[in-house]
Amino acid sequence: MKSSYRRLGDYIREVKVRNTELKTEKLLGINIDKFFMPSVANVIGTDMSVYKIVKRNQFACNRMHVGRDYRLPVSMSKTDEEFMVSPAYDVFEIINTQILSPEYLMMWFSRREFDRNAWFYTDADVRGGLHWKAFCDMQLPIPSLTKQCEIVKEYNVIQNRIDLNQQLIKKLEETAQAIYKQWFVDFEFPDENGKPYKSNGGEMVFNYELEKEIPKGWEVNLLGDLISYKKGFAFKSENYKQSGIPVFRVSDFTDRSIDVTKNYYLDELMATQLIQYELKTNDIIITTVGSWPDNPASIVGKVIIVPELANNGLLNQNAVRLRAKKIIEQLFVYYRLKSKDYSEFVISGAQGSANQASVTLEHIFSFKIVVPDKRCDLFLALNKINDNILKMDAENFYLLNMSNLLLSKLATLEN
């Protein structure tokens, strides 16, 4: 089977087009998930004319930290808009796209096995750089262009479904937050006649704690009075295994959930002894250590909700697990904490260096929340929306496994 493999360097060539005429101001970097993203580099006073231009179907990669990160950040441009990347990046293109498809090559770069192979080729530097020659010496199977296009089409069907689900999840999340604002912030929840409460004469009373009117019968509680909590545990890396009970770290948190595809594991016996750190579906997690708001990927005070796929996993340090004392209030609390004013409240009490911030539980739990008197009917809509989100989260997990299986099978292709 290996005889059908071809040397990568025989099918690609470097491209060194500089931004000499300053045609573009768009600067992108590459993350370890192999996507172009807006660069966070400080370029004030930097000569942007030496930066490299990337065009459609061209690739860029950063070979400097492969040994450290165990991945080669490489991505392909899918847009007609030209942009620039760091002059330290390599930009390259396929010599003949009638022999090798750019999308097929990007699929090969997306394989976990490719990253492991790239790591094997790294040098002895502390960061583990990958030399350009070593990169070019890596091999891949190159079937007929027709076969490549078939594989890409099959892969894209799965990816498009994942993307569609992500869009639907985002819409559902926005709908839930809009409902929350209308009902619990603007107090326009349905009255006994199905009409918006406040604008149709619903009785309001002045609350001195919040210095504003709230519906009669509603009360103001501290977050700490509505929940029970458990701080994460400082697991030791030497105890991690290849399988068992998953351990979820702050780095596994997405914008609203948990990425269950890259976590570490503990053996079941050890996990049983640490069951108090166990997570359950719809648990709320807040990060207590992280970055300041200028780096939102790992911001302190980030609020996420535990998906069904992370059920029974264990929570690592630098985060705290919250559970509403009344189950029906769980989603109500979650959407309140996802609001901008709660994020600002957490940041207002954070302390730390320029690179890292931390916040105390005392501050996190001192946030004031307006709680309705008749709770069940109003909360059911939020629960229904979240049920649909959980279903799509689960579907995407299985689709992602299918996608990874397809990528793995590329190694078995024959001409």
Domain parsing of the chain, residue ranges:
2-142, 167-398
Q: What is the pLDDT of residue 4?
A: 76
Residue 282 in tokens: 């719809």
Fold: same for 2-142 and 167-398: yes
Q: How many CB atoms lie within 10 A of CB 157?
A: 13
Query: How confident is residue 338, by pLDDT bands cut at 50, 70 and 90?
Result: very high
Predicted confidence (pLDDT) per residue in 18-38, tens digit: 999 888 889 999 988 899 998
The alpha carbons of the chain give a radius of gyration, in whole angstroms, of: 25
Q: What is the pLDDT of residue 149?
A: 95
Return the DSSP state at 182. Answer: I
**Residues belonging to the chain:** 415
β-bridge pairing 314-315 and 245-248: parallel
Query: How confident is residue 1, by pLDDT bands cut at 50, 70 and 90?
Result: very low
Tell how far CA 187 is from the center of its chain. Answer: 33
- Does residue 376 have a pLDDT over 90? no
pLDDT average, residue stretch 69-79: 91
CA atoms of 142 and 13, how far apart (whole Å)? 17
pTM of the model: 0.79
Q: What percent of the chain has pLDDT over 90?
A: 67
Q: What is the pLDDT of residue 297?
A: 55
Mean pLDDT, rounded, of the chain: 90
CA atoms of 54 and 9, how far apart (whole Å)? 19
Query: How confident is residue 290, by pLDDT bands cut at 50, 70 and 90?
Result: confident
- Does residue 381 have a pLDDT over 50? yes
Predicted confidence (pLDDT) per residue in 86-138, tens digit: 999 999 999 999 999 999 999 999 998 899 888 888 876 655 688 999 999 99
Q: What is the pLDDT of residue 14?
A: 95
Predicted confidence (pLDDT) per residue in 193-235, tens digit: 889 999 999 999 999 999 999 999 999 999 999 999 999 999 9
Q: What is the pLDDT of residue 109?
A: 95
Which regions of 165-239 does DSSP assign to beta strands (E)? 204-207, 212-215, 219-222, 227-231
Whether the CA torsion 173, 178, 183, 189 is positive or negative: it is negative
Q: What is the pLDDT of residue 263?
A: 86
CATH of range 167-398; options 3.90.220.20, 3.30.565.10, 3.60.20.10, 2.30.290.10:
3.90.220.20
CA atoms of 60 and 55, how far apart (whole Å)? 10
CA atoms of 31 and 75, how far apart (whole Å)? 9
Predicted confidence (pLDDT) per residue in 303-321, tens digit: 999 999 999 999 999 999 9
Say yes or no: domain 2-142 is CATH 3.90.740.10. Answer: no
Phi and psi torsions of 310, nearest 5°? -100, 5
